[in-house]
Amino acid sequence: MSRTAANGAARAVSSNLTRIKDYASVPFIRRGNKIPGLTAKFAPDHHYVHSTSMIVQLKHHHIHERTKQAWQARTDPLWWSCIMVPSEDAKKRVIRSHLTRKLRQAFVESLKKEGYAKDGTRLPDSTQEMDLVGTLQMSAEISLMKMGREEAQKSTDELVKAMLEIRSKARQPEGRKNTAQKRGKGAENAALKIRRI
């Protein structure tokens, strides 16, 4: 690798480091209106997962550097994972594995419906304007056990649509509405001045 290429790679890694955020700031999707069969947290930017975030913060951890470098080297737009926390209804690993696999498969299919590959990149025939960038952590719930494939698919379809909605809102400048309001008030004030004259 040439010195120029090496410097470029180093800058890319440094840039990636600054844009990876802590897991604690990833919000829940629809906390008050849950999607059946799952719980999900999503942010339209990149975050460490819960366990990794702890390792990255502890510089004396024995795999701190290796973990940090691995995450900095990631190039996939969508960082997602699927877990299931052990509970009274899901003590056995085989149950948790079955439900998380069921949820992952449905989610990948839902991404395809919207024109995305499982890593968030656009499919060749996609009508999407850009890749799906963000961090998603899904948690399968025991109610998923009684849901058929079509029901599970509806839930992940709803999840992907919610992610796209969040992404769309995040892309809108926060000051746009305020600027429009100020322009409107400015026009009203100008009209009043003309009337007074």
**Residue 118's CB: how many other CB atoms inside 10 A?**
14
pLDDT tens string 93-124 = 999 999 999 999 999 999 999 999 999 999 99
Closest-CA residue to 167 (of 56, 46, 45): 45
**With the C-alpha atoms ordered 85, 42, 30, 144, is the resulting torsion angle positive or negative?**
negative
Kindly report the pTM of this predicted structure.
0.75
Radius of gyration over alpha carbons of the chain, in Å?
Answer: 22
Closest-CA residue to 166 (of 32, 81, 43): 43
Task: Indicate the CATH number for domain 25-47+75-171.
Answer: 3.30.230.10
Closest-CA residue to 55 (of 65, 64, 46): 64
pLDDT tens string 43-93 = 999 999 887 888 888 888 899 899 889 988 999 999 999 999 888 888 899
Distance, CA of 9 to CA of 70 (rounded, Å): 14
Domain spans in the chain, listed from the N-terminal domain onward: 25-47+75-171
